[in-house]
Chains A and B, each alone.
Chain A
Amino acid sequence: MGVVVFAAVIQRFAILWALLGGSVFAAEFSQADRDWWAFQPVRQAAVPADGGGWALNGIDRFIARKLAANGLTVATAADRRTLVRRVCLDLTGLPPTLEQIAKFLGDDSPGAYEKLVDRLLESPRYGEAQASLWLDLVRYADSDGYNADHYRPEAWQYRDYVIRSFNTDKPYDLFVREQLAGDEIDPGNRDALIATMFLRHWIYEYNQRDVETQWHEILADITNVSADALLGMGLQCARCHDHKFDPITQRDYFRMQAFFTPLLPRDSMPVGTVAQREKFLKKHNAWAAATDEVRGQLHAIEQPVLLKHATGEGFNKFITKIKTMIRKRPGQRTAYEQQIATMSERQFGLEPEKLPERIEGGSKAKWEQLRAELAAFDPEEPKPLPQVKFVVSDAGPLAPATRMPKSGALVEPGFLSILDPGLANITPPPAALQSTGRRTALANWITRPDNPLTSRVLVNRLWQRHFGRGLAANASDFGKLGEPPTHPELLDWLAARFVANGWSVKKMHRLMVTSATYRQASVNAQSERTDPTNTWFARAPISRLSAEQVRDGLLAVSGELDLQTGGEGVVAAESNHRSVYRKVMRNNPDDVMHTFDLPDHISHTPQRNVTTTATQSLLLLNSEWTRKRAAALAERLAKRHPGDAVAQVVVAQELAFGQAPLPSQLGDALEFLAACGATDDLAALGEYCHVLMNANAFLYVD
């Protein structure tokens, strides 16, 4: 009887399960949750007919329709000098050179502007400037954070990878797939392995004895940043409880985290195709099997001695549970033990080279004998494959358990259940990779052309960069705490085009900056009065230069900018390289850049703060660094136009503002020079240049 009832319940449950699309959790969501705009498929909206006579591409027609609906008219087109400064700063992060200005002003062919845009997109400066978008999102840094803030000597390779990816216009889906799972997708490609440094940018405390808690914080951080950056969904709230506003359950949080649970930070990762890895592993396994007994005995003798003399933080400060994990032979550890032991082992060093003097007494003879036995197998041990450092792999083909806090219930990997309630379909990768395939499954889902978030989130970020505010205002929160898009059809049209154009970021930039919307002037009295936040884009925004643009801009104007590309980071205050190549030390940011709202690179930053402070004014007015730039510009001018104060002033303003001086400004400048010294006085010219570097016409772009 009891059995029958039980069976009936099971059967009902199964029917219910099937009805709900394979998940009991699906029932938690209301219709309003399901109807939320960001979860709807990207629609192929028809381009409206509005904007005739003004519109240059589809963007403008969507914009024109909303402008008409809100009773707004577009601004006039920006003048050419304004436009060339704007687009140069937007695409390359640098103010236009005199040559760039002259070339554009001198080209009166119909496609002159488009040609300028193409030149800028092809410039290596483009990737250097756009990289900051991504580096902010992934909180890239060259140091650990925390007190010691240790330098990470390998991290810069990731920064160069990002710059290179922008410059070669790597399709965005591939860019994402490499960063999430390059080790599984393309293990023979060093670049794809470097991309996985995406999963290494967490802050890290080198002497944290509570190793397990730190590891769980790292996994949480990776989960949060991945969702913020790639999906524009803030998952963080759901770590401790179901999200209070969005249909994201706590279980969803851990379904997502489960893709990362098997991670193992690697400081020596082989670079090899599947075939190469297979060949290596086969030989290695044969050697390992043949030597297992000997190595086991050696381990028993050597390890206590090695641990006794462990350097760095030593071995004894760990709790017993962790000591036990460390003592196990790597092959005998579970995946989780391997993770915790590896993280713990980072805290100390071993000195196997000193074993001969440290192993004493009766075991010495035995040890020497075992060593000799092992050495006999040396010819059979395969040569290691080339290595790459500071990357990740999985801890092995078997994933450690992902558990819900408190209940401890086991969680299998799955996507946001509002979008896909089932379990993720995971294909194990070739055995030689010793990996679970979980991250590949996640990467595949995120980069599916029909994923409603991925393409919308990225095009919205690009829009924010060019137009001051995203079409959806919260670039990393497409949930209910963010704002719904002002132009949903345009956002979808852009997202669909982005995917249709092979996820090309350059093409999307081009589409945006060649629109009439982008080319408007920043002044539009009607729009300023009735739409002060510029919700409907009836004018171009006026924006303050970013931290990088302030520093690079001053160096470019002064003629000191060193355009050397790539390589290990430099100290910004002591170097004239572009800011993107600076060493990003989390606890010691560059003074100039920090003052101009550089983010801390500790957490994900979807949009920079823009502040106006007396601290900035004092820095620009009184700091040694700014004054040196001014002096260098004065020298540049004096060399270019010796003794010709008028020419010096004209060129100085053109460099700093992109505009020639008005007659009254020229008069003011000459008067200032005369009052400060003789007209050919380099010091007086320096003071004049210094004033330009403080001026709004330099600090803002419109």
Chain B
Amino acid sequence: MNFEAPMTDRLFSRRELLLRGGGGFGALALSGMLARDKTFAAAEPMALGQAQFAPKAKNVIFLFMEGGPSHIDLFDPKPLLNKLSGQRMPESFKRPITAMGEAESPLLASPRKWKRHGQSGIWVSDWLPHTAECVDDLAVIRSCWTNGINHSGGVCQMNTCQPLAGRPCLGSWVNYGLGTENENLPAFVVMTDTKSTPVNGPRNWSAGFMPAAYQGIRLSPGTEPFRHLNIPKGVTTATHRRKLELLRRLNEQHQATREHQSELEARIRSYELAYRMQATAPEAVDLTSETDATKRLYGFGNKDTEPFGRCCLLARRMVERGVRFVQIYHGAGSKWDSHSKMEENHSRQCRQSDLPTAGLLKDLKSRGLLEETLVIWGGEFGRTPMSEKGDGRDHNPTGFTMWMAGGGVKGGQVIGTTDELGLRATEDRLHVHDLHATVLHLLGIRNLDLIYRYKGRPETPTINEGVAYTKITSG
């Protein structure tokens, strides 16, 4: 490895790239660091702003079902579970440490009606009738596993690859690696279906040890899509313009004697960008141009489906405008968490999310966007075959289901298996590290070659582990 400082040519070309390329909320951030940290410029074997090899996917929409949906009631039928219902798990199953200590509780049958769907004949339960219609576009991964047994660690890990806080999330890594295609919008936006905050709060879309410019920006449907976007009340447009003009003059005078200081220039640009965003962002979130048919597809007009449907429709609009990574929390604040009353909980959660999810897939597909947009569905973990409080299930990090669609994923396939009770992933096990590596692979990034130097250490998105499941593109 070469630790010599790269010289100024590269530094300047990078800096110029950053200044020219802009990057809205994103890439400008580097300029300050470049000036003072030589190693930083040497850090990345991959050039920022482009994939390392031909990508299948350009954008990502991550539908995060927060709280832990029950794989054994949605995508992974287990006849043995119903057979042994009410009994303790057979001794042949090693006892896990669970959040609520339910290892010895009686097994809980799944009362769902299961059917094979589509040409692929993939099993989906009657809780997700609309997703079932799209099953030939899905790669259903039944063998996911993770480490965090609680929501906080689980959600943190599904976002950052480790249960302990402090690392950049997947969206930040993608933003860092690929940048944005629309400099007037953030590269990475986050939405929640309700006003509730997801577990861990904004830390879930934080850039961790990377510069804050790579963090997710919260997008809210409504009159102020991004925080502080609107000119304050009581300030007229004329006054606002006058202020920006005075500011420009002050900054130019200040810079006149400091012309080599690119940070100062970057700051001036950041005000220009802010001004442009004030003009473009409202259009991006304005849904008046969407047809009724489209809105119906997403579940508008129904109070159950509309909140999540609105986020999904906004996600499509963001992706259309070059936003790289969109994450939507459904059930923000652990609403999928069903320690008791599974039936009531999951009926509601599925009712709210199933139709808009399918609507998004169908809409993306009909517009030709699905090919380059990777859609991911899943929570921080699954649920146990053991019951909790009689009619609920505890957290299960050792085996659960997620699915991916679009972005080069071959639809209509099932990947991996869990054991006969759905407790542990057994075949083709995919840890969160592997899942993230797979997402990055689809985006044209080798997970071990995307490097950010932190405290001198070469950090990678999957913590030097993780193998992309490349067969996901071929089945």
Residues A205 and B153 in contact in the complex (CB < 8 Å), given A623-B228, A665-B250: yes
In angstroms, Cα B394 to Cα A207, docked, is 14
Contact A613 B456 (CB under 8 A): no
A662 within 8 A of B: yes
Instruction: Count B interface residues, CB 8 Å.
Output: 84
- Beyond contacts A148-B152, A697-B254: 10 other A-B pairs, Cβ-Cβ < 8 A, are A319-B103, A473-B39, A481-B3, A483-B3, A586-B165, A612-B31, A614-B273, A664-B253, A691-B250, A696-B268
Stretch from A26-34, A302-310, A596-604 forming part of the interface with B: A596-604
Which stretch (A108-116, A333-341, A380-388, A668-676) binds chain B?
A668-676
A687 touches B455 (CB 8 A): no
| Interchain CB contact under 8 A, B97 and A672 | no
B202 CB contacts on chain A under 8 angstroms: 587
Whether a CB of chain B sits under 8 angstroms from the CB of A523 is yes
With CB as the reference atom, state the residue of chain B lying closest to A315: B101
Q: Say yes or no for A210: interface residue by CB 8 A criterion.
A: yes
Distance of A83 Cα from B149 Cα, bound (Å):
55
Question: A483 with B274: in contact, given A147-B199, A694-B247 (CB under 8 Å)?
Answer: no
In A656-702, the 8 Å CB interface with B consists of: 662, 664-665, 668-669, 672, 675-676, 687-688, 690-692, 694-697, 699-700, 702
- Asked if A170 is an interface residue, CB under 8 A from chain B, the answer is no
**Do the beta carbons of A675 and B200 come within 8 Å of each other?**
no
* Given the contacts A474-B455, A622-B230, A696 and B251 also touching, CB distance less than 8 Å: yes
Chain A, residues 137-169, CB within 8 Å of chain B (1/0): the string is 000000001111100000000000000000000
**Residue A408 CB within 8 A of the other chain:** no
Contact A612 B277 (CB under 8 A): no
Residues in B neighbouring A600, C-beta threshold 8 A: 165-166, 203, 206, 208
With the chains together, A609 CA to B31 CA distance in Å? 11
Compute how far the CA of A664 lies from the CA of B254 in the bound complex, rounded to whole angstroms: 13
Check: B375 CB closer than 8 A to any chain A CB. no
Chain B positions 7 through 44: 1 when the CB is less than 8 Å from some CB of chain A, otherwise 0: 01001100000000000110011011101111100000
Question: CB-defined interface of A216-241 with B at 8 Å, one 1/0 digit per residue?
Answer: 01000000000010000010110000
Is A533 positioned at the interface, with any CB of B under 8 Å from its CB? yes
Q: Is the CB of A145 within 8 A of B268?
A: no
Q: Does A332 contact B (CB under 8 A)?
A: no
Among the stretches B86-94, B231-239, B412-420, B467-475, the one at the interface with A is B231-239
Q: Rank and list the top 9 A-B pairs by shortest CB-CB distance, nearest first.
A: A477-B456, A317-B101, A481-B456, A611-B29, A610-B32, A147-B152, A528-B260, A617-B274, A618-B228
Selected from A317, A479, A523, A691, the residue in CB contact (under 8 A) with B100 is A317
- What residues on B are CB-neighbors of A444 within 8 Å? none
Tell whether B211 is near chain A: CB-to-CB under 8 Å: yes
Please provide the chain A residues from 525 to 569 with a CB less than 8 Å away from any CB of chain B in the complex: 525, 528-529, 532-535, 541-542, 544
Chain A residues with CB below 8 A from B211, complex form? 597, 609-611
Indicate whether A261 reaches chain B with its CB closer than 8 angstroms.
no
Alpha-carbon distance between A409 and B70 when the two chains are bound, in angstroms:
41
A473–B277 Cα gap in the complex (Å)?
36
Given known pairs A523-B257, A542-B258, the reply for A533 and B231 (CB within 8 Å) is: no
Question: Among the listed A209, A622, A624, which residue makes an inter-chain contact with B231, where contact means beta carbons less than 8 Å apart?
Answer: A622
Nearest CB of B to A556, in Å: 20
Q: Are A482 and B456 in contact (CB under 8 A)?
A: yes
Are B200 and A690 touching (Cβ within 8 A)? Answer: no
Chain A residue, CB-CB nearest to B184: A614
Q: Is the beta-carbon distance between A614 and B5 smaller than 8 angstroms?
A: no
Interface residue ranges, A against B (CB under 8 Å): 145-149, 203, 205, 207-210, 217, 228, 234, 236-237, 245, 316-319, 468-469, 473-474, 476-477, 479-483, 522-523, 525, 528-529, 532-535, 541-542, 544, 586-588, 594-595, 597, 600, 602-606, 609-619, 621-624, 627, 662, 664-665, 668-669, 672, 675-676, 687-688, 690-692, 694-697, 699-700, 702
Offer 6 A-B interface pairs, CB within 8 angstroms, sorted by A.
A149-B201, A319-B95, A542-B263, A612-B29, A619-B227, A665-B250
Provided the pairs A147-B151, A208-B150, A613-B25 are in contact, do residues A695 and B3 lie with their beta carbons within 8 angstroms? Answer: no
Contact assessment for A469 and B150 in the assembled complex, using a CB-CB cutoff below 8 Å: no
Of chain B, the residue at the smallest CB distance from A535 is B38
Which chain B residues lie closer than 8 Å to A529 at the CB level? 260
Please state if B8 and A668 are interface contacts (CB–CB under 8 Å): no
Using Cβ atoms and an 8 Å threshold, which residues of chain B touch A697? 250-251, 254
The reply to whether A477 and B457 form a contact with Cβ atoms under 8 Å apart is yes
Bound CA span A688–B8, Å? 40
Q: Which residues of A contact B426 (CB under 8 A)?
A: none
A510 CB to nearest chain B CB (Å): 24
Q: Which residues of A contact B263 (CB under 8 A)?
A: 542, 544, 610, 612, 700
With A145-B165, A209-B99, A676-B242 as given contacts, are A662 and B253 in contact (CB-CB < 8 Å)?
yes
Output the residue of B5, B150, B212 with the most chain A CB within 10 A.
B212
Choice from A535, A609, A612 contacting B210 with Cβ under 8 Å: A609
Closest to A211 in B: B97
> CB within 8 A of A234: which of B97, B217, B457?
B457
Q: Are B164 and A612 in contact (CB under 8 A)?
A: no
Q: Is the CB of B36 within 8 A of A533?
A: yes
Choose among B165, B199, B251, B273 the residue with the greatest number of A CB atoms under 10 Å from its CB: B165
Docked complex Cα distance between A668 and B202 (Å): 41
- Contact partners of A694 in chain B: CB under 8 A: 247, 271
Please determine whether B36 and A469 come into contact, CB atoms closer than 8 angstroms. Answer: yes
What distance in Å separates the Cβ of A223 from its nearest Cβ neighbour in chain B? Answer: 14
Max count, chain B CB within 10 A of own CB: residue among A236, A317, A529, A619: A317
Complex alpha-carbon distance, A532 and B14, angstroms: 13
Contact B270 A532 (CB under 8 A): no
The answer on a CB contact under 8 Å between B36 and A205 is: no
Complex contact B164–A203 (CB within 8 A): yes
Given A614-B25, A618-B228, A687-B101 contact (CB < 8 Å): no
Are A480 and B267 within 8 A (Cβ)? no
Residues of B within 8 A of A319 (CB): 95, 97, 101, 103
User: What residues of A have a CB within 8 angstroms of the CB of B25 in the complex?
Assistant: 613-615
CB distance from A599 to the nearest CB of B (A): 8
- Among A147, A473, A587: residue with most chain B CB under 10 A: A147
Once bound together, how far apart are the Cα atoms of A541 and B263, in whole Å?
11
Chain B residues whose CB sits within 8 angstroms of the CB of A481 once the complex forms: 3, 453, 456-458
How close is B182's CB to chain A, nearest CB, in angstroms?
A: 13
How many angstroms from the CA of A602 to the CA of B98 in the assembled complex?
Answer: 25
Say yes or no: A207-B274 contact (C-beta < 8 A), given A147-B200, A481-B457, A603-B166.
Answer: no
| CB <8 Å contact, B232 and A616 | no
With a CB–CB cut-off of 8 A, which chain A residues contact B271? Answer: 617, 621, 694
Interface presence of B226 (CB below 8 A): yes
Please indicate the chain B residues that have their CB under 8 angstroms from the CB of A627 in the complex. Answer: 232
Give CA–CA (A238, B247) in the complex, Å. Answer: 51
B200 touches A318 (CB 8 A): no
Most buried by B among A146, A481, A702: A146
Q: Is B84 among interface residues, defined by CB-CB distance under 8 A?
A: no
The answer on a CB contact under 8 Å between B456 and A479 is yes
A468-B36, A474-B39, A532-B260 known; A613+B29 contact, CB < 8 A? yes
The minimal Cβ–Cβ distance linking B176 to chain A, given in whole angstroms, is 12
CB of A591, distance to nearest CB on chain B (Å): 8
Taking a contact as CB atoms closer than 8 A, the residue among A245, A617, A622 that contacts B232 in the complex is A622
Q: What is the CB-to-nearest-CB distance from B99 to chain A, in angstroms, rounded to a whole number?
A: 6
Q: Nearest-CB distance from B219 to chain A (Å)? A: 13
Question: Is B270 in contact with A617, judged by CB distance below 8 angstroms?
Answer: yes
A662 cross-chain contacts in B, Cβ below 8 A: 253
Is A532 touching B152 in the complex (CB atoms < 8 A)?
no
Minimum CB–CB distance for B265 against chain A, Å: 9
A234 to chain B, nearest CB (A): 6
For B249-281 the 0/1 string (1 means CB < 8 A from A) is 111011101101101101110110110010000
CA distance A146 to B152 in the complex (A): 6
CB distance from A329 to the nearest CB of B (A): 23
**Which residues on B sit within 8 Å (CB–CB) of A207?**
99, 150
Give the CA-CA distance A629 to B108 in the complex, in Å: 59
Q: How far is the CB of B76 from chain A (nearest CB, A)?
A: 24
Residue of A594, A597, A609, A696 contacting most chain B CB atoms (<10 Å): A696
